[in-house]
Amino acid sequence: MSSTAPNPIARTVASTQSEMTEIILPNDTNTLGNLLGGRLMHFIDVTGAMAAYRHSRTNVVTAAMDHIDFIRPVHLGDLVTLKSSVNRAFSTSMEVGVKVWAENTRTGAVVHVASAYLVFVAIDNQGRRQQVPQLILETPNEIRRHADALLRREHREAESARRKEARHAVNAEEHAASIQS
């Protein structure tokens, strides 16, 4: 997939900030009455995409969702709030951070239940990858998240290379075994 000409508009992190709140209904839960992990991942993907859309103003696809820790269970009837913003814009991809809280509607207690990092790639209407705008950093936290996002990208690339190497090794072994048999 080729990418198109640079997109000249730069946007602030604040302009990408997005939020979604859902009430947890019986269809969202497991047999213990807790929110299903896959359902929460769906909410995270959707809220992350909102920030990526706001930054790129084009179509986006999810390229990767990093390791997620489900820190605490979310219960039937809780309100789940997810907040997202773009941490770093690369060439055609963006790293988005999503943080999730659950609110007990009876007591009003709010707890942090999960966090995740996702990578979205901008795609134009012809299906070509599209350059994303630069990101304007305005606060110390935004500067820190921007720096951390580069480290995570390097880590993802190293992991991807390691997995590719492992696949090649397995394929080579299978090929050698098929020749011998």
Ligand X SMILES: CC(C)(COP(=O)(O)OP(=O)(O)OC[C@H]1O[C@@H](n2cnc3c(N)ncnc32)[C@H](O)[C@@H]1OP(=O)(O)O)[C@@H](O)C(=O)NCCC(=O)NCCS
> Which residues lie near ligand X (CB under 6 A)?
1, 61-64, 90-93, 119, 121, 129, 156
Q: Which residues of 139-173 are buried (b: 16+ CB within 10 A; e: fewer)?
A: eeebeebbeebeebbeebeeeeeeeeeeeeeeeee
Provide the minimum distance between the beta carbon of 175 and ligand X in the complex, in angstroms, as a whole number. 25
Residue 116 and residue 65 in contact, taking contact as beta carbons nearer than 8 Å: yes
Q: Of all residues in this chain, which one has the CB nearest to ligand X in the complex? A: 90
Nearer to ligand X, 85 or 92 (CB): 92
Who's near 57: CB < 8 A, 6+ residues apart?
A: none
Residue 17 and residue 83 in contact, taking contact as beta carbons nearer than 8 Å: yes
Provide the minimum distance between the beta carbon of 156 and ligand X in the complex, in angstroms, as a whole number. 5
Nearer to ligand X, 53 or 70 (CB): 53
Provide the minimum distance between the beta carbon of 91 and ligand X in the complex, in angstroms, as a whole number. 3
Nearer to ligand X, 63 or 137 (CB): 63
Provide the minimum distance between the beta carbon of 161 and ligand X in the complex, in angstroms, as a whole number. 11
Q: In this structure, how many other beta carbons lie within 10 angstroms of the beta carbon of residue 25?
A: 11
Nearer to ligand X, 159 or 174 (CB): 159
